[in-house]
Structure 1
């Protein structure tokens, strides 16, 4: 990699992270403001708007600083690999720090204003239990839960095939492929270099499956003022989200399968398959973000539930409620779902990605 290519790759990635974070509050719905439950009528109140501006200013300053760090890493130290990892990780950590800072400011402001304004809190309505709606929701979840198994099973079969071909594989195998699909890094065949990809693909596949199913099971908040229209909107939303999860699952597993087959054959990856799966992954992610943004559970008039309580959240971003049976709940800040670490399953799922990263680094170290 040369300096020009490093800039072309790294700066746009940094900018993408910046843009996504800049508009995160706008995508967070009408129930929370920087991770704090708040009546959306007051989102535009001067004090809260000033905190929003402060977050965006600090974010912009951080973005400029990490762009400079990236350019210095590339042109002065010629650390091309480091410039692809350290600035992005550093910027993500910086984002979290300033989010927590603004979150605490919003929380304190809400507490101060509540002394004179009595409707800052979300309206605490009663939870609606509709058996017909629950049965239809469970039917959709069951159908897609079965579909989610298909790419995972196919990946498992390819992993088994990879294991059976280990002895016949050449001594030197590819470990990385470029944009054109051509292998550009190689290593000696070993248990870690081959089965590391196998274990990683299966592990990621299992995590994606569990996350997808439990995200669909997350709490749906109906509107008590218009129950029939609300049920229809929720079921339509659930079908769309489930379909995007299926495409995401399929795309990820196809990418892993493509890599495993290329590893077995010591060849280039299939470019057509690689780019088709990648495009599907990006398009379905964007569409899922849009569908999630339209989630009826994020509307102001959705019923109040336990995950709307500020006391059940750490830093406004980590849900911790051992009395809530839900494994996943919708995020307060941004798009997607987060794990309830109040349960043992939640703790395991929460730390699984960190374990996978450690395993990947361990494999990479042993390949070297």
Structure 2
């Protein structure tokens, strides 16, 4: 079971890392802004191809080795989980290292060919684009939150019938494999962690909804379509992940109160259904956004370009811009959003809830 789970997740990670250069914003190559009129340059295409082939070959070697080792030595699930996690981190680390290498190569190309020296940088503002924004309204996110609060209250109401050993972790088979002593806090631990995560998701949604919509002066139609697509599908994807987490954690919480809920194969099917929904949703989201500015052919003005913000992107990955009020901005390597690290509100929305979750998990686990 553990072998199959880690094989699916690792395969998904490998595929996404391979195709990332082809899904990011069209005018950004390995975190570097390239004027649209030079996107078909042979050197750029070669760098993207080299990266994709390198990650693919390394991933094939690691996945093959993991499969052969798992099927021939019949290791324990714990061993498969450890090696599987190391393999996943290995692919991510290798792809990151290759990204850093090709980021430097792309910067050299940009400087060497003087692609931006004779172009006028233009910032586009279109106030009407907000009317076309199809992000979900913030109050939709309250539905799972209300459900969790209700489940928390139900757990407290049924505290007397809870087992003396409260499950804190479930294995791939759906069976609990770690426990802690019964207490008022441990009884609602999972609903509390779920609530904190839900509030974080709500904060991320509100912050992204209020973020700036950045358009390209050289190809307004394509950039507009990408921004609207990114905003629409990121809000839907975030909501469905939040909903899936709520259903999964609610099931585990209810089985703690009513063990008969876990009868049959549902305890195995539900975690796999959750994994499938998240991975399939991630893939659909990446493809929808990644293709949104490639399929629209607009008139390219070869005398201008969008504002080059490379100076605000450290390594092409970390955005620091005190002059930008946006809390979240579109990633330069990957599909989705990243924090404006110069805006402290982003830390409050993302890192504070994560720290609280880690502390609660550590205290209860200890």
Q: Is the 8 A contact 2:25 2:290 kept in 1?
A: yes
- Assess, with a 3 A threshold, how the Cα gap between structure 1 residues 297 and 56 changes in structure 2: closer, same or farther: closer
Q: Offset of 1:165 from its aligned partner?
A: 3.1
Residue 197 of structure 2 aligns with which residue?
Answer: 204
Determine the C-alpha separation between the residues in 2 that align with 1:298 and 1:310.
25
Residue 28 of structure 1 aligns with which residue?
Answer: 24
Residue 175 of structure 2 aligns with which residue?
Answer: 183
TM-score by length of 1: 0.78
- Assess, with a 3 A threshold, how the Cα gap between structure 1 residues 93 and 355 changes in structure 2: closer, same or farther: farther
Determine the C-alpha separation between the residues in 1 that align with 2:345 and 2:235.
22
Q: Offset of 1:298 from its aligned partner?
A: 11
The reply to whether residue 15 of structure 1 matches residue 11 of structure 2 is yes
Deviations 1:140-183 (A, max 9, x none): 55x61011111122112212332443343111344444667x52
Farther off after superposition, 325-334 or 258-267: 258-267
Q: Offset of 1:36 from its aligned partner?
A: 0.6
Residue 106 of structure 2 aligns with which residue?
Answer: 106
Determine the C-alpha separation between the residues in 2 that align with 1:64 and 1:226.
38
- Assess, with a 3 A threshold, how the Cα gap between structure 1 residues 200 and 357 changes in structure 2: closer, same or farther: closer
Of 263, 277, 289 in structure 2, the residue corresponding to residue 292 of structure 1 is 289
Q: Is the 8 A contact 2:331 2:337 kept in 1?
A: yes
Q: Offset of 1:304 from its aligned partner?
A: 6.5
Deviations 1:94-121 (A, max 9, x none): 322221222122112211221xx45797
Q: State the superposition RMSD in angstroms.
A: 3.9
Partner of 1:124: helix, strand, or coil? strand
Determine the C-alpha separation between the residues in 2 that align with 1:319 and 1:110.
20
Farther off after superposition, 201-210 or 354-363: 354-363
Determine the C-alpha separation between the residues in 1 that align with 2:181 and 2:69.
32
Q: Is the 8 A contact 2:31 2:333 kept in 1?
A: yes
Partner of 2:121: helix, strand, or coil? coil
Q: Offset of 1:317 from its aligned partner?
A: 1.3
Q: Is the 8 A contact 2:30 2:333 kept in 1?
A: yes
- Assess, with a 3 A threshold, how the Cα gap between structure 1 residues 277 and 81 changes in structure 2: closer, same or farther: closer
Determine the C-alpha separation between the residues in 1 that align with 2:244 and 2:65.
34
Residue 92 of structure 1 aligns with which residue?
Answer: 92
Q: Which runs of 5 or more structure 2 residues have no equivalent in the other structure? A: none
Determine the C-alpha separation between the residues in 2 that align with 1:146 and 1:228.
30
Partner of 1:147: helix, strand, or coil? helix
Deviations 1:188-218 (A, max 9, x none): 4345754432232112112222222323333
Q: Is the 8 A contact 1:183 1:268 kept in 2?
A: no
Q: Offset of 1:252 from its aligned partner?
A: 2.4
- Assess, with a 3 A threshold, how the Cα gap between structure 1 residues 67 and 159 changes in structure 2: closer, same or farther: same
Partner of 1:324: helix, strand, or coil? coil
Q: Which runs of 5 or more structure 1 residues have no equivalent in the other structure? A: none
- Assess, with a 3 A threshold, how the Cα gap between structure 1 residues 279 and 81 changes in structure 2: closer, same or farther: closer
Determine the C-alpha separation between the residues in 2 that align with 1:33 and 1:227.
19
Q: Is the 8 A contact 1:174 1:263 kept in 2?
A: yes
- Assess, with a 3 A threshold, how the Cα gap between structure 1 residues 107 and 248 changes in structure 2: closer, same or farther: same
Q: Offset of 1:351 from its aligned partner?
A: 3.3
Partner of 1:23: helix, strand, or coil? helix
- Assess, with a 3 A threshold, how the Cα gap between structure 1 residues 95 and 133 changes in structure 2: closer, same or farther: closer
Determine the C-alpha separation between the residues in 2 that align with 1:197 and 1:77.
31
- Assess, with a 3 A threshold, how the Cα gap between structure 1 residues 63 and 352 changes in structure 2: closer, same or farther: farther
Q: Is the 8 A contact 1:59 1:95 kept in 2?
A: yes
The reply to whether residue 255 of structure 1 matches residue 248 of structure 2 is yes
Determine the C-alpha separation between the residues in 2 that align with 1:356 and 1:87.
28
Q: Offset of 1:49 from its aligned partner?
A: 2.9
- Assess, with a 3 A threshold, how the Cα gap between structure 1 residues 284 and 80 changes in structure 2: closer, same or farther: closer
- Assess, with a 3 A threshold, how the Cα gap between structure 1 residues 73 and 229 changes in structure 2: closer, same or farther: closer
Residue 319 of structure 2 aligns with which residue?
Answer: 319
Q: Offset of 1:85 from its aligned partner?
A: 2.0
In the TM superposition, 1:211-290 aligns within 5 A as 211-222=204-215, 238-239=231-232, 241-266=234-259, 269=262, 271=266, 279-290=276-287
